Amino acid sequence: MKFNNPSLVLYFVATIFAVIGVTFNYETFELIAKPMIVPSIYFFYVQLCKGEINLLFTTAVFCSFAADMIVLINLPNGTLPIAFLNICMYSIFTYFILTDIGIKSFVNKKVISLIGFSVFFLFVLTVILDLMKGMDQLEFNVFVFYGILLSILSALICYNHLNKSSLRSYYALLMCICFIVSDVFFAIYNFYLKIDIFVSLNVAGQFISYYYMVKYITSTNDLLEEKT
């Protein structure tokens, strides 16, 4: 990883300061650093893709950025808007991953691993939902759909990397890990146990995911073994 790109340096510096601000409740750090994270990493993306911007990817990044800003301004009853924005983002990445896999892959390759990954992530979802008390029926239904979508996305990413290992699938896997870490600790902190380290892991996972989102969308789908 090279840090000779000014926008990338700004992204990492802003991420560090934002995590410190959240961890130690330095609101000034948060107010300054958080709004800089997405613009800096998006500018890095524009440089990597040399102006050939993917509008769907841009929409996904914007949705995540909007969710971050809702958290920053502490919007009353902001949980549902954040969930809807992240659902939009996860739906876009699910489309990308399905495109990477291709229909023929489901026909030609064993799908037992996909079933196994799906069962595992749905089990994790069940455990997390069991911790999320005090929601009304609408909130619960939204989070069930949210969790199922993330479980499907995670299972597809793991399946794709297992069956067609490439640099693109590797970055997708790291991106997925960040998504899961962020969402799991968001749920634990907000609905079960308010420990500062949990919210720190939540925001760290969210902010780091932006880097892997950009690396994923700008990487090729060529098999790694073909390059060795």
**pLDDT of 176-197, one tens digit each?**
999 999 999 998 988 888 888 9
pLDDT at 147 over 70: yes
pLDDT at 132 over 90: no
Helix, strand, coil percent values for the chain (each to nearest 5): 80, 0, 20
Give the H/E segment covering residue 171.
helix 167-191
pLDDT at 127 over 70: yes
**For the segment 12-58, what is each residue's pLDDT rounded down to a tens digit?**
999 999 999 998 988 899 999 999 999 999 999 999 988 789 999 99
> Which residues have CB under 8 Å from 19's CB, separation 6+?
200, 203, 204, 207
**For the segment 64-120, what is each residue's pLDDT rounded down to a tens digit?**
999 988 988 877 777 899 999 999 999 999 999 999 988 666 655 667 888 899 999
Query: What span, in angstroms and rounded, lies between the C-alpha atoms of 22 and 29?
Result: 8
Percentage of the chain exceeding pLDDT 70: 92
pLDDT of residue 3: 57
Percentage of the chain exceeding pLDDT 90: 66
Paired tokens of 5:
């790109």
Q: Are 33 and 21 in contact (CB under 8 A)?
A: yes
User: Which SS3 state, helix, strand or coil, does residue 196 take?
Assistant: helix
Paired tokens of 71:
């958290």
At 224, the pLDDT band (50, 70, 90 cuts) reads low
pTM, 2 dp: 0.91
